[in-house]
Structure 1
């Protein structure tokens, strides 16, 4: 069974979101998603300063099985990218919620408004149980 962190919020595309500042969030893919993808071998991440809308592609994740898009769950501006992943993409498999985070985004509205469409941990648990 995949690890789901109670203090995070989740998208139906399997991104997790952590509020880390007044209007800043950190995004990665869930443990469930990294298990589904298998061994991750390459990531393409956005440039700092890139403007994104909710549901826009932020980049791609390549595993030995497939290539998947990473989607933005919010509208905002990319303020930080985890460049360590470019040389160590396996961190996404090893620590999806810690060292495997991908980008930080400054949201345009309040974080509460920006995250209103996301699932809480319990809702995400139920959502992923249907997919296993």
Structure 2
């Protein structure tokens, strides 16, 4: 909720700055110096918003409440592992098989791309009458 409030405050500030730019642009007060100043304020506001959101995320991630939630979930997983090891083994095997399948698929795709490259090179050589091996 705190992050949402901070983001909303940043959005409000951005909208106000945008309205100020529009108002300044529609008057005769427009000057390069004023526009530069507004650009500086916009960049400073964006940087500050990033800093505040990062700080809030770090505070949330390192909070005792989050630690407790993670601890509870970890206890549940370990308890499930003790009660139903076969279920967990099947899950791990499925993950392993999926990972192996992904690696094999990538290897096959790479091999196919290599085969295509060799075929194109061979075709180019034979079209040019260079059927012999290049030096």
Q: Same fold (TM over 0.5)?
A: no
More strand by share: 1
More helix by share: 2
TM-score, length-normalised on structure 1? 0.21
